[in-house]
Amino acid sequence: MEKRGSMTRRFNTAGPCLPTEHYMIPALSRLPEAPELVDLKAYFVVHAPRQTGKTTALRALAHELTAQGTYAALMVSCEAARAAGDDYAAAARIILDRIRASAEDTLTADLRPPLWPQASGGSLLVEALRVWAHDCPRPLVLFLDEIDALQGQTLLSVLSQLRDGYNSRPAPFPWSVALCGLRDVRDYKAAAGGNPLRLGTSSPFNIKLKSLRLGDFSPDEVANLYGQHTSDTGQQFAPGAVERAYELTGGQPWLVNALAQEVVEEIRVPAAEPITIAHLDQAKERLILTRATHLDSLAAKLAEPRVRSVIGPLLAGDPLQLDPYDDDLSYVRDLGLIAPTAPVRPANPIYREVIARVLSSSIQESVTANPHSFIRPDNTFDFPKMLDEFAEWWTENGDFLISTGYYSEAAPQLILMGYLQRVVNGGGQVEREYAVGSGRIDLHIRWPYEAPDGTHHLQREAIEIKTWRASRPNPLNAGLKQLDRYLSRLGLNTGTLAIFDQRPDAPTIDERTTLTTETSPAGRTITVLNG
């Protein structure tokens, strides 16, 4: 009988972690600066992308601060007040109701709030917190989670009342307050109706001392988390598997848990067998294909203009051209779509795949080619035939598809990737590499197959995509040099360079679409697709 049947903990992908039910990294270790900020009477911000452990960490911190006997600390979610819209009085009442309910659950009777006072809607929150702080025998610490659920006049009212109470100290008011949400406080001005192009001007929460960004898991923390599963079940991770999980996820906490949960609970690798790199790769593909809730909500952000202004050039390999006051880059970083450090690139390989597949999904729907028609009798993939048929399809449909896409700066790249995904998906995989300013997208096609003699092989093909822009030289020579480097890294002798001519005075699509061969500087024979 497998030991797994008696385990009590599991990998968590829904809601805050509970120590008795879930494998988890000690929550307090993820916000080491927060206790000191509380001791300093600070008002501060905690921000991180969704499902990175903010709520778990703040809940644990509130419990620890209260248990130490120094503070009365409470975490409360503002999520329920979203329904109030711009009715700030109704929102204040909802938040105070949630404060009372949370206090009933977590604080002893002597620390709980008294009856709330009567006050106008615009001052109800500040007056209630003053009364509670006056009556409470300990300094109050308040963590307002999901603060960015509030918008417009309601957010402005809440932040302004907190600033009013802060400025009135040493009169009774919460000792320390933390706002917790997706974004840093700079975006709260825009959400409250301020000018998003001048976020450096006065903010309704300009009293904050510091902004803390909850980081992703480190390699050691991923090993710690997975090691808890091994301790509970006896199931080992094969050499390199934990490292592969970190590579695929970049340490993003939800993805780290989701990968392992997919292997354990959906693929159901027996506890007596080790979890391998192949299992994790299979789980990665399943998560992307099923568009798990977290990935789906992330993908929905791609339609936002602020996100498109960063992701469009990223996909095209173009340099970013943002106004000096434009905060779109920080906003997209706060969402977790791109890495927190330069250069601009997807946050991890899974997000990289999700972004490209979501934006090219409509292309896949318009591809009529039968994927099975590219499989040769020996089960290899007929790559030259695929290029020929794509060139014909591009000639017929390219101009129309470019004119209808809302990521126009990366339209040719998305069209080719969508076509490839349609004809390769199922039997093989398309791996992508792209970054702002690189001038290209690199594609690595992996096609595993069984030969007629029963042996198993892996066919690999490489494509580099470049765009010819107005007032720029023909990218052929630069592309051949770049492709040489990419092929050397992959250990391949041949490859394909796709150049899409996007100049306003380019020849018509039927005139410019050709398939030719060139010799690269390293002496490789390169197929060149001009489109």
Tell me the β-bridge partners of 46: 180, 212
pLDDT of residue 185: 61
373-406, pLDDT tens digit by residue?
999 999 999 999 999 999 999 999 999 988 876 7
State both tokens at 261. 């949960």
CA angle 27, 32, 36 (to 5 degrees): 125
pLDDT of residue 220: 97
153-192, pLDDT tens digit by residue?
899 899 999 999 999 999 999 999 999 987 776 545 544 4
262-295, pLDDT tens digit by residue?
999 999 999 999 999 999 999 999 998 887 778 8
* CA dihedral of residues 193, 199, 203, 208 (deg, nearest 10): 130
Mean pLDDT of 456-474: 96
Note the helical H segments in 210-276: 219-233, 241-249, 253-261
pLDDT of residue 42: 95
Whether 105 and 174 share a structural domain: yes
pLDDT of residue 152: 86
Whether 408 and 391 share a structural domain: yes
206-246, pLDDT tens digit by residue?
777 788 888 899 999 999 999 999 999 999 999 999 999 99
**Alpha carbons 359 and 92: distance in angstroms, whole number:** 40
Whether 133 and 240 share a structural domain: no
484-508, pLDDT tens digit by residue?
999 999 999 999 999 999 999 999 9
Tell me the β-bridge partners of 144: 76, 179
In a domain, 367, yes or no: yes
Mean pLDDT of 496-523: 97
Whether 149 and 234 share a structural domain: no
Instruction: Say yes or no to pLDDT of 202 above 50.
Output: no
Instruction: Say yes or no to pLDDT of 298 above 90.
Output: no
Whether 159 and 246 share a structural domain: no
pLDDT of residue 221: 97
Instruction: Say yes or no to pLDDT of 194 above 80.
Output: no
pLDDT of residue 325: 55
pLDDT of residue 324: 59
**pTM of the entire predicted model:** 0.86
Q: What is the mean pLDDT of the chain?
A: 91
pLDDT of residue 133: 98
Instruction: Say yes or no to pLDDT of 9 above 60.
Output: yes
Whether 49 and 189 share a structural domain: yes
59-69, pLDDT tens digit by residue?
999 999 999 99
Mean pLDDT of 444-453: 96
**Alpha carbons 421 and 414: distance in angstroms, whole number:** 10
| Contact assessment for residue 363 and residue 415, using Cβ atoms and an 8 Å cutoff | yes
Q: Which single residue is written with the structure tokens 């029963």?
A: 454
The CATH number assigned to the domain holding 110 equals 3.40.50.300
Domain count, the chain: 3
In a domain, 314, yes or no: no
Tell me the β-bridge partners of 45: 179, 211
Strands 429-434 and 140-145: unpaired
**Alpha carbons 359 and 329: distance in angstroms, whole number:** 19
Instruction: Say yes or no to pLDDT of 510 above 90.
Output: yes
Whether 278 and 361 share a structural domain: no
Q: Which helix (H) or strand (E) holds 285?
A: helix 277-290
pLDDT of residue 497: 98
Whether 131 and 221 share a structural domain: no
Whether 241 and 261 share a structural domain: yes
Whether 189 and 96 share a structural domain: yes
| Contact assessment for residue 424 and residue 447, using Cβ atoms and an 8 Å cutoff | yes
Q: Find the domain containing 256 and state its range.
A: 3-14+217-290
In a domain, 10, yes or no: yes
**Alpha carbons 420 and 371: distance in angstroms, whole number:** 10
Mean pLDDT of 254-259: 96
